[in-house]
């Protein structure tokens, strides 16, 4: 009875929340408080698929849901703002019957790494995809081993596990059990040396000897081999090859595939999503066809005009890998260009730590960006970091007062790339003055 009541109240709060705009986690929070065993009592008619990992969770889980729908299946899935336990509960509450039953063919859940054990000790888990594991911001995650340990507690609950053949860290989750792998062959953008400062597998995670790489896709993701213990990239079950960054065409297990957003990261995410859908029973051809029509969400990307100049806003998470990817995008754009960085204190804790900025490869922008703007509450710390990266003081515009930013920006030239590393909504500070 308590269960039904919790569902009912949760649904009501969810309904009411639509009008006050606070509905992504509150209904779940309230319902879980009324019945802490709520998740355990939910009944699933279809399969549950979970996506976790350090980067690309949202895109990949949306991709999985899209592919399944394109293949005629009914799917319930959550959104980025609701990937903690209460958010997952909110999503399920919205779609379940009063008896707690979910009728869809699939439930696809993006779940924050830290919350995977708590969620999947309660919800049945058919297919579990771990995309990658890279260092996140220190305040959030401590270190990658801690996250690995957290996810490993969820792994025994998964009937099938899908892992990244190119990631030596997260692949350890498959130790002692069967798993499916996805990976990508060398591309035109693969490098012999790691392009990024953030490289979490300089040593082998098994024996701590130096880990060798044939090539890198990004950060520590690539084709690796340990000369000491033999740990190496396996032959992936789902392999992306023949990647063409111009057209977006590539192949998965030799069948032609297509993406409309051409970064190494996105080709891999797409291959991961196809691997998951095939593991769920879709034919490879159907999964690839479904993936081809997926549009990458532009929420994190926006174009506008600043005093007659084109400006591009890219929201980035407060972690080095996310910012590195935005820098990679800026590098592909034409000169002249100005990179405006907006960095505040650590989200939620307000800590003044900016050590993660020292793991971002700003060095790659030296000689590429005509001007670099340091803004946000940590503008001066950012400037110290950029000077260490090799930027000339004359190329840096430092302004920690948002009100003066627009004026200061006039000293720069070219298209402005605003890289805002902040919480959702927190970028308003910079947008207000620029728009």
Partner 1 sequence: MAEYKILHIYSDLLDLYGDYTNVTAVRRALEQMGHSCSVVTAQLGEEIAPAGYDLVYIGHGKPKNLAAAAGHFRQYAAAVTAAVEGGGVFFITGNARLLFGKTFETPDGREEQGIGLFDYHGRETGKVFTGDVVSRPMFDEQIACYGFINRTAHIIGENRYPLFRVLKGPGDNEGTGETEGTLYKNLFATWQMGPLLPRNPELLRELLRRITGENYAEIDLSLQERALAITLAEFKNLEL
Per CB under 8 A, residues contacting partner 1 are 135, 138-139, 141-146, 197, 199, 202-203, 208-210, 345, 349, 351-359, 377, 380-381, 383-385, 387-388, 393, 400
Shortest CB 118 distance to partner 1, Å: 16
Structural tokens at position 63: 């991709």
Report, in Å, the least distance between residue 222 CB and Zn ion.
Answer: 15
- Output the smallest distance, CB 424 to partner 1, in A: 22
18: nearest Cα among 99, 90, 112:
90
Q: Which residues of 174-190 are buried (b: 16+ CB within 10 A; e: fewer)?
A: beeeebbbbbbbebebb
Instruction: Tell me how far, at minimum, the Cβ of 208 lies from partner 1, in Å.
Output: 4
Contact (CB, 8 A) for 86 and 28: yes
> What residues contact 176, with CB distance under 8 A and at least 6 apart?
none
Nearer to Zn ion, 139 or 207 (CB): 207
CB of 344 to partner 1, least distance (A): 11
If contact means CB under 5 to 8 A according to the sort of partner, which of Zn ion, partner 1, none does residue 347 touch? none
With CA atoms as reference, report the closest residue to 427 among 418, 354, 360.
418
Considering beta carbons, is residue 142 or 286 the nearer one to partner 1? Answer: 142
9 binds, among partner 1, Zn ion, none (CB under 5 to 8 A by kind): none
The helix/strand/coil state of 328 is helix
Report whether 215 contacts 185 (CB < 8 A).
no
For partner 1, give the closer residue by CB, 144 or 236.
Answer: 144
Answer yes or no: are the C-beta atoms of 275 and 184 closer than 8 Å: no
The residue among 209 and 256 lying less far from partner 1, judged by its C-beta, is 209
Q: Is 359 exposed, middle or buried (0-12, 13-18, 19+ CB in 10 A)?
A: buried
Nearer to Zn ion by C-beta: 134 or 226? 226
CA 398 to CA 394: how far, in whole Å?
Answer: 10
Report, in this order, helix, strand and coil percent for the chain, each rounded to 5.
40, 25, 40
Residue with tokens 């959030």: 140
Enclosing H/E stretch for 255:
strand 255-258
Smallest gap, in angstroms, from Cβ of residue 172 to Zn ion? 11
Q: Return the one option of partner 1, Zn ion, none that residue 383 interacts with (CB less than 5 to 8 A, by type).
A: partner 1
**Closer to partner 1 by Cβ: residue 183 or 376:** 376
Whether residue 160 contacts residue 217, with contact meaning beta carbons closer than 8 Å, is answered with: no
User: 148 or 284: whose CB is closer to Zn ion?
Assistant: 148
> What CA–CA distances, in Å, run from 395 to 232, 332, 412?
43, 20, 8
Which of 37/143 has CB closer to partner 1? 143
Binding partner of residue 43 among Zn ion, partner 1, none, CB cut-off 5 to 8 Å per kind: none
d(CA 361, CA 144): 19
Shortest reach from residue 150's CB to partner 1, in Å: 11
CA dist 12 and 98 (Å) reads: 12
Identify which of residues 24 and 141 has a Cβ nearer to partner 1 in the complex. 141
Min separation Cβ 234 and Zn ion, Å: 14
Q: Closest distance between partner 1 and the C-beta of residue 202, in Å?
A: 4
Smaller CB distance to partner 1: residue 15 or 380? 380
**Residue 431 interface partner, choices Zn ion, partner 1, none, CB cut-off 5-8 Å depending on type:** none
Q: Which of partner 1, Zn ion, none does residue 206 bind (CB under 5 to 8 Å by kind)?
A: Zn ion
Binder of residue 229, out of Zn ion, partner 1, none (CB less than 5 to 8 A by kind): Zn ion
Q: What is the token pair recorded at 100?
A: 């707690």
192's contact among partner 1, Zn ion, none, with CB below 5 to 8 A by partner kind, is: none
CA angle 426, 427, 429 (to 5 degrees): 90
Residues that bind Zn ion (CB under 5 A): 204, 206-207, 226, 228-229, 231
Distance CA 303, CA 267 (A): 24
333 binds, among Zn ion, partner 1, none (CB under 5 to 8 A by kind): none
Pair 279, 269: CB distance under 8 Å:
no
Distance from C-alpha of 248 to C-alpha of 256, rounded to nearest angstrom? 11
Query: Taking CB within 5 to 8 Å according to partner kind, which of partner 1, Zn ion, none is near residue 300?
Result: none
Residue 283 CB, nearest approach to partner 1 (Å): 41
């Amino acid at each position: 009875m308590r269960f039904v009541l919790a569902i009912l109240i949760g649904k009501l709060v969810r309904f009411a929340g639509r009008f006050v705009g606070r509905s992504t986690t509150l209904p779940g929070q309230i319902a879980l408080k009324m019945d802490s065993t709520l998740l355990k009592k939910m009944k699933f008619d279809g399969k549950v698929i979970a996506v976790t990992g350090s980067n690309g969770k949202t895109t990949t889980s949306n991709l999985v849901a899209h592919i399944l729908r394109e293949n005629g299946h009914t799917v319930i899935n959550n959104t980025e703002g609701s990937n903690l336990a209460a958010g997952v509960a909110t999503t399920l509450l919205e779609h379940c019957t009063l008896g707690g039953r979910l009728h869809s063919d699939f439930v696809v859940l993006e779940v924050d790494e830290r919350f995977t054990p708590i969620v999947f000790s309660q919800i049945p888990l058919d297919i579990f995809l771990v995309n990658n594991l890279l260092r996140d911001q220190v305040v959030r995650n401590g270190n990658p081993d801690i996250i690995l340990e957290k996810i490993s507690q969820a792994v025994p609950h998964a009937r099938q596990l899908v892992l990244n053949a190119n990631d030596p860290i997260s692949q350890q989750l498959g130790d002692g059990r069967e798993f499916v792998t996805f990976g990508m062959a060398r591309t035109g953008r693969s490098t012999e040396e790691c392009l990024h400062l953030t490289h979490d597998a300089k040593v082998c995670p098994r024996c701590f000897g130096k880990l060798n790489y044939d090539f890198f896709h990004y950060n520590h993701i690539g084709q690796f081999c340990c000369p000491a213990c033999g740990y190496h990239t396996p032959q992936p079950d789902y392999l992306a090859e023949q990647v063409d960054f111009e057209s977006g065409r590539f192949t998965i297990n030799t069948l032609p595939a297509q993406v409309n957003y051409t970064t190494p990261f996105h080709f891999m995410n797409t291959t991961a999503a196809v691997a998951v859908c095939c593991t769920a029973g879709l034919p490879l051809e159907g999964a690839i066809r479904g993936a081809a029509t997926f549009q990458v969400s532009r929420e994190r990307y926006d174009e506008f005009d600043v005093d007659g100049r084109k400006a591009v806003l890219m929201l980035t998470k407060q972690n080095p890998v996310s910012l590195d990817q935005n820098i990679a995008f800026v590098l592909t754009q034409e000169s002249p260009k100005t990179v405006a960085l907006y960095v505040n204190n650590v989200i939620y804790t307000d800590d003044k730590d900016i050590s993660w900025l020292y793991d971002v490869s700003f060095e790659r922008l030296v000689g590429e960006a005509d001007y670099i703007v340091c803004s946000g509450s940590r503008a001066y710390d950012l400037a110290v970091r950029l000077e260490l990266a090799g930027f000339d003081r004359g190329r840096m515009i430092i302004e920690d007062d948002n009100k003066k930013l627009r004026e200061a920006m006039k000293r720069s030239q070219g298209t402005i790339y605003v890289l805002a590393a902040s919480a959702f909504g927190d970028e308003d500070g910079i947008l207000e003055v620029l728009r």
